[in-house]
Amino acid sequence: MNVFEAIEWRRSIRKFSRQKIEADKILKILEAARLAPSSSNRQAWHFVVIDDKEIINKIPDRVPAGTRGIIKWIKDAPLVIVGCYQKALTHYIAQIFKHENHLIDISIAMTHMVMAATELGIGTCFVGWFNEPYIKKLLDIPRRYRIAVLLALGYPAEPSNKRGIGGINARPRKKLKEIVSYNKFGKKFNPDCCL
């Protein structure tokens, strides 16, 4: 599978089989994060790998009432990777100019993991809906770290097919012409631009 095939085939997977992810595959996924680019090569990230069912079961607790549905499926994931970052000096300097490079860095690293997992036939889903103070306490994450996002991983419950990993159809995406501006009509940003 080449990178573009993996990009097309990936889906958010929220139903997992009971099969555990092999240790060598977890290492490969983490290696993909390790090799990710980062601003000033600061690599100011840390990944907490959770395979303890008891802890995973507790992740959906303490989200605001009425919102547990967004995250409760995570209990069935055999593995969760918590994406943490600690701002480096260069990140603080970038922030003076309103650049949120720390968030970009961790997002790229997490995306590398998603793509590596996809290539290995492992389903993933980002989880942005969590209670950060609670998860930090649950996992003993030091105060100086922030959690950007959680990544649930596991083999999909349903068989994969040509359409997508886990047999899931692609969710709709905007057309390129809706999201791309070509700087060819004398305008710097042209939201009405047609390809």
Ligand X SMILES: Cc1cc2nc3c(=O)[nH]c(=O)nc-3n(C[C@H](O)[C@H](O)[C@H](O)COP(=O)(O)O)c2cc1C
* Residue number, nearest CB to ligand X: 128
Alpha-carbon distances of 16 from 4, 57, 62, 73, 76, rounded to whole Å? 24, 14, 23, 9, 6
Least distance to ligand X, CB of residue 18, Å: 20
- Cβ distance 34 to 175 under 8 Å? no
CB closer to ligand X out of 104 and 193: 104
- Cβ distance 33 to 47 under 8 Å? yes
List residues binding ligand X (CB under 6 A): 11-12, 14, 70-71, 125-129, 149, 171
CB closer to ligand X out of 18 and 174: 174
Amino acid 159 reads P
Least distance to ligand X, CB of residue 24, Å: 26
Least distance to ligand X, CB of residue 171, Å: 4
Alpha-carbon distances of 117 from 27, 94, 125, rounded to whole Å? 10, 31, 11
Least distance to ligand X, CB of residue 17, Å: 18
